[in-house]
Amino acid sequence: MANDNCIVVDNRDNALSVATKSECHFKEGLLHRAFSLFIFRQIPNSLDLELLMQQRSSSKLTFPSLWTNTCCSHPCMNYTGEAEERDAIGVRRAAQRKAEHELGIDSSRQLLLENIHFLTRIKYSSPNEPVKNDWCEREVDYLLVSVLPASVNSDLSTFLNVNSNEVAGTEWAREDSINTTFVNNSRIYTPWFRKIIRMGLLHRIFNWAGAKATNSEAFTSLDKKMTLGESNNPSRRGGASLIGSSAAADEAATQDSKDIELLSELYRRMDRIQPTIPDRVSTVLLESAGVRLNPGEGDARLARLISLAGEKFITDILTDTMMHWNLSNGQNTGLLANPTSVQSTPASKDTSGNPLAGQGGKQAGSGTAGKPSPNLTMENLLAALRDRNIPVARPPYYK
């Protein structure tokens, strides 16, 4: 396999020459054509889909033991018809060949060529992971999708005949479980699969496959949006414009990566904080409003987020209420840049230099010296709420 001849391309995916697989992946690498195949099945008695995921073998030179989509490889000049570009048929033939080689999927019955659909392409490069060595990836990656017909038995024990030299493990996975794993530990995925998630392409692929599986009326428009370029005309390779070839796209992917890392840090901090409002209270309130937090129906962390947001809101209201009390009692609100610069009238003293009663020293019920104890009133609270455009009126019996 190391001597298979890959198709070397330029930044616009125009074929330039051929090079061995080793040459394409060594040191800086050569930009070459590749594919990522996504095989879906419809969950029995459900409209939801699952994606067939594979864990790469630990003996792989590049990205060993990482999880990724169903099958990833290259069209090669060694195999008849894989260089043909019309309707991306050469790449689709390569996907058929490698799915059978790696996973034992029968291309004559289970993965027909007409059921492999080319959606779009991305360009990416990455040094090897998790082991740092002289190998890399540098590819124009064709994203191919196939939705298994209901007649195909998708049970892994019968559907697959895994080549252990290529694949360490397989599983069917829902989109939400993939995203949860990505947030918690994105590094278990290959770099191209991470990029597909960060660019929002995985969600679009799931939507496309779902519309295809259910023969939805939305399928035609989704198919057109996914597979046609901005000119709305299919290209010689099947239609999809090249995504990720510009600096802007790479910058957007980098920003998405930063956003994901920030989100991961938020989740970690949420797990460590115990809010004053118990999670079970927020859960009851959310479920009474129709939000389901059961496994498979929602994210239980939403209750913790609501608890923290509620606690922050109440704290802000109390802080504003205290500020209104300070204003009404002539106290420093803390809003001045340098409150110590404000001169206060010194307390009167008797002939011995002691403060007169009521003007200094600590009096019963007067708080600290010269400052009465806070006694928040309904008027202070109503003023704080009005500041936030929350109209609250006192009940008639208070008037």
* CB atoms closer than 10 angstroms to residue 106: 14
For residues 326 and 329, give the distance between their C-alpha atoms in angstroms, rounded to a whole number.
5
Tell me which residue of 193, 180, 189, 71 sits closest to 129, measured CA to CA.
189
For residues 269 and 59, give the distance between their C-alpha atoms in angstroms, rounded to a whole number.
37
Q: Which residue has the tokens 């901090």?
A: 269
Contacting residues for 97 by C-beta, under 8 A, at least 6 apart = 79, 82, 107
**3-state SS record for the chain:** CCCCEEEEECCCCCEEEEEEHHHHHECCCCCEEEEEEEEEEECCCCCCEEEEEEEECCCCCCCCCCEECCEEECCECCCCCCCCCHHHHHHHHHHHHHHHHHHCCCCCCCCCHHHCEEEEEEEEEEECCCCCCCEEEEEEEEEEEEECCCCCCCCHHHHCCCCCCCEEEEEEECHHHHHHHHHHHHHHECHHHHHHHHCCHHHHHHHHHHHHHHCCCHHHHHHHHHHCCCCCCCCCCCCCCEECCCHHHHHHHHHHHHHHHHHHHHHHHHHHCCCCCCHHHHHHHHHHCCCCCCCCCCCCHHHHHHHHHHHHHHHHHHHHHHHHHHHHCCCCCCCCCCHHHCCCCCCCECCCCCECCCCCCCCCCCCCCCCCCCCCCHHHHHHHHHHCCCCCCCCHHHC
Quick check: 369 and 362 in contact, CB under 8 A? yes
Q: What CA–CA distances, in Å, run from 266 to 181, 284, 309?
A: 15, 23, 13
**What amino acid positions are annotated as catalytic residues?**
72, 139
